[in-house]
Structure 1
Amino acid sequence: MPVKAVVFDYGKVISFAPDHGVMDEIAAMAGVKREILEPVVWKMRGEYDRGTCSGPQYYGKVLQSLGVNADETTLNKINEIDMHSWKRINPGTLKLMEDLKKAGYKIAILSNMPYDFLSWAREAIPVFSLPHVGIFSCEVKAIKPEEAIYRKLLSELGCKSGETVFFDDILVNVEKAKELKINAFLWQNPEIAKIQLAGLGVTV
């Protein structure tokens, strides 16, 4: 079955990972050790990505679970630092997306992403105007690896699973896509992605 669409996760695929110092800065502002804070940040992130709370509310809940009551100014600043840490775009991924689009393939972003970042990024980061389809967890109220978000993607693309390729940096998200017969790969870098795509008959 020929490939018609190529889908990219955002964080650590289209964008670079945040600098290592970002979490240190957030931890210092919160008055909590990084090794204590970071696991809780990721454990509780799902509902933030689902769109059930704002960034400051999310960080407020994270810190409260650790016995810290931060003021509104601190929570807003922490949220701002978090959002800006995800804005650095990988130029290799961007070029791959542009080349695929020029070659006639449908391009999509499928990402767990909160309202705070998405509303800002659509205005500030040009890559968000590139894809034909953007499926974001906060808007569909489902997060990867839940089946519903993949079904929504395929519906919006108008493609079958076997006609779709998906790249993500988190193994469980890739495994769920494969379970649904989507051609899915664990992201390494743009060069390896081109090789993987070529194996499916996609050359750019």
Structure 2
Amino acid sequence: MDKHMTLLTHINNVCRSASYAISKIGRIRKFIDQATAERLVHAFATSRLDANNSLLYGLPKTAIAKLQRVQNSAIRLITCVKRDQDINAVRRDLHWLPIRDRIVFKLLLITYKIRHGLAPAYLTDLLMDYIPTRTLRSSSQYLLQPPSSREVATDYYGKRAFSVAAPSLWNSLPLAIRNADTVYKFKRQLKTHLFNNPSD
């Protein structure tokens, strides 16, 4: 953590360790098949990219781009595609979400677990169900109460807070996803939704 909360030191360390793992796997890539290469990359590289990634929500594109370049290197290693080939198309073939959407996915998964009593109290206490003062259609929409304008700082840091970001992202989901009755269904539907509606 740095004094400006940019997390750049953390990002640089993650990129360094993940890139090192990718280079090591690259040395044996010609001796293994694609499925084995993908398992190794998930175990030693993308697991590092995903660890604690919900903390990275709202960071500038330049910061996320560093992590994206590492993911792109992992994809090229697995698929052996040339550098001039469209990496986005190859990523979709692997059914991988880009880094920015993986961050959103993690935030929303945590939010789902909070709403279903599967998260610790210190997180649960940050969110409240939306309860209108009178009966409205929104009463059955499984929405979260966004913080009031007085409670939320309008600067860069306030918008990144979990108590601000989670209700905003959750309430923007289709009802069918918010209403998923198992974690497995939620994850499957959410991933499809993010593929069809990628973050900018």
Same fold by TM-score greater than 0.5: no
TM-score by length of 2: 0.25
Structure that is richer in helix per residue: 2
Structure that is richer in strand per residue: 1
Q: Which has the higher contact order (CA 8 A, sep 6+)?
A: 1
TM-score by length of 1: 0.25
